[in-house]
A and B are shown apart, each in its own frame.
Chain A
Amino acid sequence: MNLGISAKEFISQVREGSLSVEEFVAKTLDRINQVEGKVHAFITVDKNAIDKAKELDKKIKSKEKVGKCFGLPISVKDNICTAGIRTTCASKMLENFVPPYDATVISKLKSEDAIIIGKVNLDEFAMGSTTEHSYFGPSKNPWNPEYVPGGSSGGSGVSVSALECIVSLGSDTGGSVRSPASFCSVVGLKPTYGLVSRYGLVSYANSIEQIGPIARRVEDIAFILNIIAGKDEHDNTTLDNKNEDYLTGLDSGISGRRIGVISQMIAEGIDDDVFSATNNAIEKLQSLGAECIPVSLDAVEYSVAAYYTIAAAEASSNLARYDNLRYGFDFGLEGYEFNAYVSKVRSNFGQEVTRRMLLGAFVLSAGYYGKYYLKAQKARSMIKSQIDKAFKQVDLLISPTMPILPFKIGEKINDPLKLYLSDINTITANLSGIPAISVPFAFSKSGLPIGIQLLANSLEEKKLLQAAYALQSITRLPEISI
């Protein structure tokens, strides 16, 4: 049995009867047992998965109506609420938290009979780009376990690339779906802000974040997007995508498309292998009929400062609720005064979360709002306006997803600013709300994955996925060996 099949292949095999869901799920659970010691993608594995698989096989056998997913095994980033399954956000603060409800994306997938294999690792509360800031320990890159898998949705990237599931749901605030996608050689999409409901996504930076799918194939991304996208009555920030079908016409190709190469993202300072891979990708796209021209977005210079200002500010507010009084972990309140208790329990936040909370408190504190937060929002508007201008000239934008290669675990953990700067290519899409996708493209000489990022304007996922699909079609990637 080939665990590396795509969702499309899985569904068609189950549908035609040549594959039993139970067998596949059982094999998947075996695989998880086999590799988890090396990669640590999962926080919780759902033992009920096999029962759900059995039920589904029965339904299929008796020709009952079955959802589109036909038992597709998916992993879910542990900051997305799953009813009855512990949701920890990789934090001590939510160590024992079991949500009494499903996130909208989970309800949607469950009603289409997807099977949740388990909850996967992340940087605590989605703050980080390496998954090293997890309370449960880091996840490791399956292509080389001494290296980081990217983050914050590291567990998603790892579980998909290590064949522990077919598809995963992550979340992307500053690149957290695209960075692990790039570092783990899989596909990862950050949808337009508002395309996918955030109801059930534990808030970190709520004006920016989006849930996004990670898969091995672009067509699987489109398949999942069809299920999870759309207006949701539980989330007032969602948009009406008029039931767009992202799968039809996926293979239309990119002939005649104009693609802008973001000059600020292919400049000095990026890794040599990344640089040459990007140029290679541009050539390949041109050979498919696209026209690639340089585009300058000088507002990118402010993007990291703007992003971290806004994200930290929102985080300091979104995480205020974690006082261990309603849910959390065991810690008696006898003998404490209120403020002392709250401060004590919250000392269990990790370093990165603490750092961002302090920064967030600072930029919002009396007198500083205008200097930092307001300016950051201005920078955001400026970026969007330059993006809009660019999209008058081109259909898509392209850049390497990460300016650097995956690095060793522990290498950058004491230099937060340096890490923040490595998000410079991904942050633009988050700040402006436009969709962006990372497509695995190449490997470095040292055997580390390199992803290429494509961006489109708001609600143009269809165009974006077509281009990603085209790029995928001329890319040959090695199989995972772990």
Chain B
Amino acid sequence: MVERREIEHLGDLVRIELKDPEKFIKQVEEILNYFDKLDNVQFDSDQTLRKEISMENLRDDIHEPFDNYRKLIAELKKDQNNYTRAPKMI
């Protein structure tokens, strides 16, 4: 049973203000119940679907300024000294 409090907590975790948490309760619960199907998955394998690479395939340690810095800084929200402004965290 998913409660309003849990939905609000989840909203807090992902920083989304929920105007009407009640609206999500039924659907989230239904979907989570459907996910419970995964409990029945029995499969053990060392094989991972993730790609594996060796260190040689990694990037060299070379400095290169971004080729379109002008466009990048133009698009960034900033003040007159090029700092980005953010509300303070209490």
Which chain B positions have C-beta within 8 A of A340?
Answer: 87
- What are 10 pairs between A and B in contact, CB < 8 Å? A99-B75, A100-B72, A308-B31, A308-B35, A320-B14, A344-B17, A354-B24, A365-B10, A416-B27, A417-B34
| Option from A305, A308, A347 in Cβ contact (under 8 Å) with B18 | A347
Of all A-B residue pairs in the complex, the 10 with the closest CB atoms, nearest first, are: A100-B71, A338-B89, A382-B43, A375-B38, A343-B17, A347-B17, A361-B13, A100-B72, A358-B10, A357-B14
Instruction: Determine if A327 and B10 form an interchain contact, defined as CB atoms under 8 angstroms apart.
Output: no
Q: Contacts A325-B86, A327-B76, A347-B19; is A371 near B39 (CB within 8 Å)? A: yes
Decide yes or no whether B63 CB sits under 8 A from chain A: no
A307 to B16, CA, bound (A): 23
A381 to B42, CA, bound (A): 11
Kindly identify, within residues 1 to 49 of chain B, every residue whose CB is under 8 Å from any CB belonging to chain A.
7, 10-19, 24, 27-28, 30-32, 34-35, 37-41, 43-45, 47-49
What distance in Å separates the Cβ of B75 from its nearest Cβ neighbour in chain A?
5
Instruction: With a 10 A CB-CB cut-off, give which of B10, B38, B88 has the most chain A CB atoms.
Output: B38
A266 to B28, CA, bound (A): 29
Contact residues of B: prevailing secondary structure: mixed
Decide yes or no whether B68 CB sits under 8 A from chain A: yes
Decide yes or no whether A420 CB sits under 8 A from chain B: yes
Q: Apart from A309-B35, A338-B89, A346-B14, list 18 A-B contacts with CB within 8 A.
A: A101-B68, A233-B59, A302-B38, A305-B34, A306-B38, A327-B75, A341-B86, A343-B12, A344-B17, A347-B16, A357-B16, A361-B10, A361-B13, A362-B10, A363-B35, A385-B45, A385-B47, A432-B49
Q: Contacts A100-B72, A337-B87, A358-B10; is A349 near B38 (CB within 8 Å)? A: no
Chain B, residue nearest A375 (CB):
B38
Decide yes or no whether A459 CB sits under 8 A from chain B: no
| Option from A98, A236, A346, A371 in Cβ contact (under 8 Å) with B75 | A98
Q: Contacts A343-B17, A361-B14; is A380 near B49 (CB within 8 Å)? A: yes
The count of residues in chain B whose C-beta lies closer than 8 Å to any C-beta of chain A is 50
Encode contact with B along A63-80: 1 for CB under 8 Å, 0 otherwise.
000000000000000000
A339 to B37, CA, bound (A): 35
Kindly identify, within residues 77 to 100 of chain A, every residue whose CB is under 8 Å from any CB belonging to chain B.
83-84, 97-100
Which chain A positions have C-beta within 8 A of B31?
Answer: 308, 355, 359, 416-417, 420
Instruction: Determine if A381 and B48 form an interchain contact, defined as CB atoms under 8 angstroms apart.
Output: yes
Which chain B positions have C-beta within 8 A of A233?
Answer: 59
Contact residues of A: prevailing secondary structure: helix
A340 to B32, CA, bound (A): 28
Which chain A positions have C-beta within 8 A of B74?
Answer: 100
Chain B, residue nearest A335 (CB):
B87
Instruction: Determine if A358 and B41 form an interchain contact, defined as CB atoms under 8 angstroms apart.
Output: no
Which chain A positions have C-beta within 8 A of B37?
Answer: 301-302, 305
A101 to B30, CA, bound (A): 41
Kindly identify, within residues 336 to 394 of chain A, every residue whose CB is under 8 Å from any CB belonging to chain B.
336-344, 346-347, 349, 354-355, 357-363, 365, 371-372, 375-382, 384-385
Decide yes or no whether B90 CB sits under 8 A from chain A: yes
Kindly identify, within residues 39 to 90 of chain B, every residue whose CB is under 8 Å from any CB belonging to chain A.
39-41, 43-45, 47-51, 53, 57-59, 68, 71-72, 74-77, 84-90
A355 to B24, CA, bound (A): 7
Chain B, residue nearest A194 (CB):
B51
Chain A, residue nearest B31 (CB):
A417
Seen from chain B, the residues whose Cβ lies within 8 Å of a Cβ on chain A are: 7, 10-19, 24, 27-28, 30-32, 34-35, 37-41, 43-45, 47-51, 53, 57-59, 68, 71-72, 74-77, 84-90
Decide yes or no whether A237 CB sits under 8 A from chain B: yes
Chain A, residue nearest B43 (CB):
A382
What distance in Å separates the Cβ of B32 from its nearest Cβ neighbour in chain A?
7
Q: Contacts A305-B34, A338-B86; is A379 near B17 (CB within 8 Å)? A: no
| Option from B30, B41, B47, B75 in Cβ contact (under 8 Å) with A379 | B41
Chain A, residue nearest B13 (CB):
A361
Which chain B positions have C-beta within 8 A of A382?
Answer: 41, 43, 45
| Option from A236, A339, A357, A379 in Cβ contact (under 8 Å) with B38 | A379
A237 to B87, CA, bound (A): 36
Instruction: Determine if A358 and B14 form an interchain contact, defined as CB atoms under 8 angstroms apart.
Output: yes
Q: Contacts A237-B51, A384-B49; is A346 near B87 (CB within 8 Å)? A: no
Instruction: Determine if A333 and B18 form an interchain contact, defined as CB atoms under 8 angstroms apart.
Output: no
| Option from B7, B17, B58, B77 in Cβ contact (under 8 Å) with A358 | B7
Q: Contacts A325-B85, A333-B86, A359-B28; is A365 near B13 (CB within 8 Å)? A: yes
Decide yes or no whether A395 CB sits under 8 A from chain B: no
